[in-house]
Amino acid sequence: MSQTKFSVIVPAAGTGTRFKSNMPKQYSGLGGTTVLEQTVNSFTSHEAVTEVILAISKSDSFFQNLIFENHEKIKVVSGGQSRQDSVNNCLVAVDQDIDYVIVHDAVRPFFSIETALTQIQHLKEFDGAVPVIGIPDSLRSGEGMKPVDRSSIFAVQTPQIFKKSSLQDAFSKKIEDSLDFTDESQLLEAYGYKIKFFEGEPANKKITYPSDLYSMPSMDHRFGRGIDYHLYKPGSGFFLGGVQIDSNYEIVSHSDGDVLLHALADSIFGAIGLRDIGFYFPESDPLNKNLDSKIILNKALELLKNKNVKLNQVDITIVCGVPKISPYVDAIKESLSILCNVASENISIKSTTTEGLGGIGHDKGIAVFALVSVFK
């Protein structure tokens, strides 16, 4: 399984007229990010996924503001007039070496890729595997509103997984026939391909109306706090949040002394119930001498990812008398946004003094307080 690679197609060019919003529903906020980011990041973070191909409308003005994990896996193509057109545009961009293609709705953020991948065993006999789920509600049909036996009716979900060759062939025939279908399984069946249906997941709901956002599975929100203090010594500046700060001081530290990244890393460790920096990077280890603090932060982010937890909000307070921090706030926000893969609007950088109190008030050092929120 680990050697099998997949391309993922996500048609995301729809305008969502039923959603009745000033933005397409895939850009609605959900858990500190957007629906589309959550959907795509679940794929890009999986080792079996080689690429995620997104169909985006040419008139889309929202996509450029998104931040994705492992964005090097992402390809973007122009959306078509219909879902089928968008999927076909993506299919053209699939790498030649790929054998299997997953097609998934942009507005189903709570799915399990593992459930879909377990169906790969059936694609020796079938051309595609599609999740379906029973209908819990009573049903009636027609002008007479006659009862319908719901035991034989199922709702179709995504992600749907197909042999690339079968999907490409079906689309080539569709173009010749000018037919339209609501999903790819219907398309393949229309041309004689075999589909394996398997049990889907109740939580894998498609967002269609604004109220659907409130019925999504609740998220596990957690918080972490980190604090770090360092003394000054005469010097020519230091790093803060990965940004070079001009100063007549430098930081006394075993590592490179980026006190902000230290506090931030500790806050992440705390949010997921782990030990502090000293546990993972002890001063007794000579390899940690002059260590780049970005390595420390990356360790925290790696452990965060391993627990399937996402960083949502970063709140930083810098306490010092000198140097003045305000000229560097925007640069620090941008640096943290890149380092943490968090939107800059979800990062706050504040600075204050101790009004002359204590060692910091007498320019003997600097302190940073970090607070993060994460969710699972």
Q: Tell me: the pLDDT tens digits for 39-91?
A: 999 999 888 999 999 999 999 988 988 878 778 999 999 999 999 999 999 99
Q: How far apart are CA 116 and CA 198, in angstroms?
A: 9
The single-letter DSSP state of residue 153 is -
pLDDT at res. 376? 72
Q: Tell me: the pLDDT tens digits for 88-133?
A: 999 999 999 999 999 999 999 989 888 888 899 999 999 999 999 9
Asked if the 221-375 domain carries CATH number 3.30.1330.50, the reply is yes
Contact indicator for 151, 85 with CB cutoff of 8 Å: no
pLDDT at res. 10? 98
**Superfamily (CATH H level) for 6-215:** Spore Coat Polysaccharide Biosynthesis Protein SpsA; Chain A (3.90.550.10)
Contact indicator for 104, 160 with CB cutoff of 8 Å: yes
pLDDT at res. 115? 87
What ranges do the domains of the chain cover?
6-215, 221-375
CA atoms within a 13 Å half-sphere pointing along the CA-CB vector of 149: 2
Residue with tokens 């039923």: 18
pTM of the predicted model, to two decimals? 0.62
Close Cβ partners of 287 (under 8 Å, ≥ 6 residues apart): none
371 phi and psi, to 5 degrees?
-130, 130
CB atoms within 10 A of CB 316: 25
pLDDT at res. 30? 78
CATH topology agreement for domains 6-215 and 221-375: no
Contact indicator for 29, 116 with CB cutoff of 8 Å: no
pLDDT at res. 32? 66
The low-confidence residues of the chain, meaning pLDDT below 70, are 1-3, 16-21, 32, 215-219
Amino acid identity, residue 349?
Answer: I
pLDDT at res. 1? 43
Q: How far apart are CA 72 and CA 52, in angstroms?
A: 9
Identify which of 67, 57, 76, 62 has the alpha carbon closest to the alpha carbon of residue 22: 62
The H or E element containing residue 316 is strand 310-319
